[in-house]
Amino acid sequence: MREGIPAARSLARAAHGPGPVRRRYALLRRHGEETAVLVLFPLLPLFPLDGGEQDRAEGSVEVLPPGTRRLPWTGLPATVGIVELYGDIDGLEPGEPGEGGAAAGAVEGRPDDPSRPVVVPWTEGRPLWPLHGYDPVRPEDARDREYFTALLS
């Protein structure tokens, strides 16, 4: 009650927040878990949706699959596309990614850091509910490299 209700209210406010930040995404499933990860890339007019070798991820958001318990992956969006992020978008502007890191909460199992921006991704006209806050990708951090290596293996 003390954590769930405030978290739900925070997500509801974020989902209907003002003006979205648009990003390209690649959708990955976490092996052995019922979660998916949106890996976010800058939306640049010169890059196609599938990016290229020089394309660098800038953040990630773990999301719950939208399906039922029996078929959790039903209703997931395409594996690549455009997503609109609503919520604490001030922390998503280029050069201001905030603190944390994809691996910080995921690998060590720590609860959400309140300094992580709360964002709700919308794609195909509906929200994908996040499990945690937005995580900037930091390639220089060994924990981030381990996290994404595990996602891709």
Using one digit for the tens of pLDDT, what is the confidence trace for 9-25?
Answer: 666 666 666 678 889 99
Using one digit for the tens of pLDDT, what is the confidence trace for 80-108?
Answer: 999 999 887 765 654 444 333 343 333 33
Sequence-ordered list of residues with C-beta below 8 angstroms from that of 14, at least 6 positions apart, any chain: 86, 87, 88, 118, 119, 120
pTM of the model: 0.72
Sequence-ordered list of residues with C-beta below 8 angstroms from that of 33, at least 6 positions apart, any chain: none
Write the Ramachandran bin of 119: left for phi over 0, alpha for psi from -120 to 50, otherwise beta.
Answer: beta
Report d(CA 105, CA 2) in Å as an integer. Answer: 20
